[in-house]
Amino acid sequence: MERVVEEVIQGRELASQLSKAFANRSLVVNGDDGGSAEGIVNKILGSFVNTLLIINGKESDQKFVSDQIQGNSSGVSGGSTGVSDGRGGGAYSSSWDANHEHAANIKSEDYNEEGISCKSTSTFKDRRGSYKRRTRGPLDGEDPLDQDTKASHSWTRDTPASNIDDSHAWRKYGKKVIHNAKHPRNYFRCTHKYDQACKATKQVQQVQDHPPVFRTTYYGTHTCRDYPKASELVLDCTSPRDSSKYISFDNANCLENKQEHFTSFASSSVKEEPIVKATSDHTVTSHNNHSSPSDYLLSHDDLMAFDSFWPMSEFSSSIDQYDRDDVFLKMIAES
DNA sequence: GAGATTTGACCACT
DNA sequence: AGTGGTCAAATCTC
pLDDT digits (tens, 9 = 90+) for A58-101: 433 333 333 343 333 333 333 333 333 333 333 344 444 433 33
Nucleic strand C near CB of residue A128 (< 7 Å): yes
Nucleic strand C near CB of residue A123 (< 7 Å): yes
Q: Which of A20-24, A83-87, A124-128, A202-206 has the lowest mean pLDDT?
A: A83-87
Burial A98-131 (b: 16+ CB within 10 A, else e): bbeebbeebebeebeeeeeeeeeeeeeeeeeeee
Q: Residue ranges per domain, chain A?
A: 2-57+225-315+322-334, 60-109+147-223
* CATH superfamily of the A60-109+147-223 domain: WRKY domain (2.20.25.80)
Nucleic strand B near CB of residue A25 (< 7 Å): no
A123/C14 CA-to-C1' distance in Å = 21
Cis peptide before A211 (omega within 30 of 0): yes
- Residues of A (110-139) placing their beta carbon closer than 7 angstroms to any atom of strand B are 116-120, 122, 126, 128-137
Residues 6+ apart with CB under 8 A from A20: none
Contact A74, A82 (CB under 8 A): yes
Of all nucleotides in the shown strands, which has a C1' nearest the CA of A135?
B11
Nucleic strand B near CB of residue A179 (< 7 Å): no
Contact A275, A295 (CB under 8 A): yes
Nucleic strand C near CB of residue A132 (< 7 Å): no
Nucleic strand C near CB of residue A103 (< 7 Å): yes
Provide the percentage of residues in chain A whose pLDDT is more than 70.
21
Of all nucleotides in the shown strands, which has a C1' nearest the CA of A169?
B4
A192/C12 CA-to-C1' distance in Å = 21
Q: What is the mean pLDDT of chain A?
A: 49
A234/B6 CA-to-C1' distance in Å = 43
Q: How many CB atoms lie within 10 A of CB A236?
A: 21
Contact A47, A41 (CB under 8 A): no
Residues 6+ apart with CB under 8 A from A84: A71, A93, A95
Nucleotides of C under 7 A from a protein CB: 2-13
List, for residues A133-155, the tens digit of each pLDDT value. Answer: 444 444 344 443 344 445 457 77
Selection from A202, A332, A166 nearest residue A263 by Cα:
A332
Of all nucleotides in the shown strands, which has a C1' nearest the CA of A127?
C9
Contact A157, A89 (CB under 8 A): no
A309/B1 CA-to-C1' distance in Å = 52
Nucleotides of B under 7 A from a protein CB: 3-13
Dihedral sign computed on CA atoms, order A308, A48, A267, A206: positive
Amino acid, res. A189: R
Nucleic strand C near CB of residue A187 (< 7 Å): yes
Nucleic strand B near CB of residue A176 (< 7 Å): yes
List, for residues A183-220, the tens digit of each pLDDT value. Answer: 899 999 988 888 887 888 899 988 888 888 888 888 88
